[in-house]
Each structure stands twice: as C-alpha cells, then as structure tokens.
C-alpha cells in the first residue's frame, strides 16, 4: 500500500495550487487523485478566468490581494505561464443603491490596501467606451489590476511544478472511501488501490459533498450550472476592454481571442449536475448584450462553441476552508461559488499553512471553517457574478 504525507482529492486548479504550495514548503510526499483521465475536465477548464479584488467582504478582498500579485508573477515564481492580463474589471452602476454599494466596497478595499481601485462618474465611463449605452449609467468602480488568467495554464503550471518537487498525480482514479481510526483519517481507498495517509484534502469541486459524505461529513456545497457564450471574431468593440459588468441585470463580458466572452447568471437555474448547454440561453444573453452594447446586436455567435460548467455554491457564497470538525486530518477546500480560479493561489497558501503549521497569517481561518454554518456565523458575499 502506498503511503503519503498528504492526499489531495481533485486535480483542478485548487488542488493543484495546494500541491504546489505544499511541495514548495518542503512537503514532498503528496499524492493528488483525479477521477478523470486528464486534468481540467471539471470546473477549471470551463471557467471564465476572471480575477478581481473588487469584493464586498474583507476575507475575499484579502484572498485576492494575495492571489492577483501571485498571478502577476506566476511565470517567474512557478516557471510556467498563466497568461495574466491586467485589463481590469469595470462595474457599471445604474441605480443609486448600486453606487452606494460600490462606495462602501471601495472604502473597504482601500482600507485593506488595494491601491488601484477607483470610483468613476457615468460620463467618464461614456467617454471610455462610447459603444456602451450609458444613458442610465450613474457611475462605477474600476480596478486596473483586476483582469483575466488562463485557468487551464495556471492549473498545469501549479501541478507541473508540484510534480517536479515530488508530488504524484494519479489520473483515472476515483475515491471510493476512507478508513478512520481513533486518530482520525488513516487511509484513502481508490479505484487504483489504497493510500495510507493521516491528511486528506477534499478539492472535489462540485462533487465535494459526495466525497465529504464518504468521511461522514455533511457539506453544504451544491452544484449550479453556469453557461458561457463566446463570440466569433468581432472588431466593433475594443479588445483592450476590461471585464464590464452591467449591474442592472448582472450581464458581463470580456475580450477573448478576437471576439468576446459573454456571461450572465440566469436566475431560473436550479441546482444539479447539469452541464448541457441550453441553446435557448443564447437569445437570453444576446438580448441583454445588445441592450447594453448596441453594436452587439451584430455580434456573430456559434451556439455549438458555447459551453456550460458548474459553480460549487455554499449558502453564503464563501468557501469552506480548513480541517473538518470531528474528523482530524480531513481538510476542506470547497464551495468557491465561482471564485475558485481567482482565489486558488491564496487557497493553496492557506491550506498549506494550516496543514504544515496549524495556522495561517493570510486570513482569520476560523471565518471560513465549516462550523460557521452550525454556529450561525455566515458571511454574505453579495459581489457574486
């Protein structure tokens, strides 16, 4: 039977980042278990790849303040590219309560050390992007270090570097159970055999709850389908644009290759493991796109290129990080609610710190522990796209 110091379940960007941070800190005997035949077939490969520090809660802002500079220096640090593009995020407010919300967030972000976020007036947004319909835009918030990364490249970079430092990746291996003893977790049973380990990290993305259940843990993480629509090449809007968010309805878009990538959180979506793209979504999103960006009425779209992925939602839209109560050695890195890619570097550091030293200085880890739900300590993040 193989023995490991740490077993990580799930080789997406979060599991890969944890493997990287552990091996970088001298913990070499790490086994990463991936049920698919290759990495990135879950949420990572289907992500929009946005990274931003414009959040409303201190803990999310803090995680971004670690993660975004990490992505900025990724190639130098990890030895592989992640294609970080600091083109910014621009939130466009169309109601006075939106502006009040952005002002409150701005104050919090600045207080926490975010340097390049600023509030802007509606006429400045109109001048920046005359292609936008701006008659109802009162103002907004923009941060120039926000932007995009290539999630697949970042994941591969993390895992390649971890492997160079001793980590092993098991592909096509499904976790089937755990053995526990008086000390907690003792081993992980997989379709490829058993791994003896005192420390296991659940990074199973939308499937995290079923993995936790095998260890006797109830995890409030549910899958929610999100659909993305890429356009064909289109030159009537600048490709230097940031991620632009229409706060009136949540529609947002960013440049991608020679076209644009469109996203919108359809409120009619229900939880479940549905990853089929619904062709009816194209009309819904193009209607909103053309309403905010009139030239997008001519945006060429091939529905066959659109896709759906899964968010892993928690009740308060914050991740669950740290050791599970009652099961020593069983660590959780779950429920990122759409922010897994952008917060993967911070998550890797936090979990590595907790596993190796029992504490982390990056955040107050108690805030994101599983016990917050039973204790009524939820932290609501309202800046969810």
pTM over 0.85: yes
| Residue 32 near residue 204 (C-beta atoms within 8 A) | no
Whole-number pLDDT of residue 260 = 98
- CA 165, 177, 226, 323 dihedral sign is negative
Whole-number pLDDT of residue 222 = 97
Whole-number pLDDT of residue 117 = 98
Whole-number pLDDT of residue 381 = 73
Domains and CATH numbers, the chain: 2-49+151-221+315-374 (3.50.50.60), 85-145+223-313 (3.30.9.10)
Write phi, then psi, for 107 (nearest 5 degrees): -60, -45
Render pLDDT for 299-351 as a digit per residue (tens, 0 to 9): 999 999 999 999 999 999 999 999 999 999 999 999 999 999 999 999 999 99
| Residue 123 near residue 135 (C-beta atoms within 8 A) | no
CB-based burial label for 138 (10 Å; 0-12, 13-18, 19+): middle
Whole-number pLDDT of residue 384 = 67
Render pLDDT for 149-190 as a digit per residue (tens, 0 to 9): 999 999 999 999 999 999 999 999 999 999 999 999 999 999
pLDDT beneath 70: ranges in the chain: 383-384
């Amino acid at each position: 039977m193989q023995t490991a110091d740490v077993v990580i379940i799930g080789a997406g960007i979060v599991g890969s980042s944890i493997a990287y941070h552990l091996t970088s800190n001298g913990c070499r005997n790490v086994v990463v278990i991936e049920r698919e035949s290759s990495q990135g077939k879950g949420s990572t490969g289907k992500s929009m790849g946005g990274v931003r520090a414009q959040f409303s809660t201190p803990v999310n802002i803090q995680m971004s303040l670690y993660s975004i500079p990490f992505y900025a220096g990724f190639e130098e640090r990890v030895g592989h590219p992640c294609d970080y593009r600091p083109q910014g995020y621009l939130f466009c407010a169309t109601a006075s309560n939106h502006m009040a919300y952005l002002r409150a967030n701005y104050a919090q972000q600045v207080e926490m050390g975010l340097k390049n976020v600023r509030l802007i007036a509606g006429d400045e947004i109109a001048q920046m992007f005359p292609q936008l319909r701006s008659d109802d835009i009162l103002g907004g918030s923009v941060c120039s270090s926000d932007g995009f990364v290539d999630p697949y490249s970042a994941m591969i970079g993390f895992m390649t570097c971890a492997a160079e430092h001793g980590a092993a990746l098991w592909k096509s291996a499904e976790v089937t159970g755990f053995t526990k003893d008086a000390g907690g977790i003792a081993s992980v049973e997989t379709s490829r055999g058993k791994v003896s380990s005192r420390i296991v990290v659940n990074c199973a993305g939308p499937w995290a709850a079923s993995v936790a259940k095998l260890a006797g843990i109830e995890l409030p993480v549910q899958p929610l389908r999100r659909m993305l629509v890429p356009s064909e090449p289109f030159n009537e809007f600048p490709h230097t644009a940031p991620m632009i968010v229409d706060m009136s309805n949540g529609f947002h878009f960013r440049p991608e290759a020679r076209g644009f990538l469109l996203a919108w959180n359809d409120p009619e979506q229900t939880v479940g493991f549905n990853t089929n793209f619904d062709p009816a979504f194209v009309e819904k999103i193009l209607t909103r796109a053309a309403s905010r960006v009139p030239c997008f009425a001519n945006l060429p779209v091939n529905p066959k290129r659109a896709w759906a992925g899964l968010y892993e939602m928690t009740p308060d839209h914050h991740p669950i990080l740290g050791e599970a109560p009652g099961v020593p050695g069983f660590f959780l890195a779950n429920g990122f609610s759409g922010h897994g890619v952008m917060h993967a570097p911070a998550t890797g550091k936090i979990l590595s710190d907790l596993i190796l030293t029992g504490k982390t200085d990056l955040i107050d880890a108690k805030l994101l522990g599983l016990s917050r739900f039973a204790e009524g300590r939820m932290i609501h993040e309202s800046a969810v796209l």
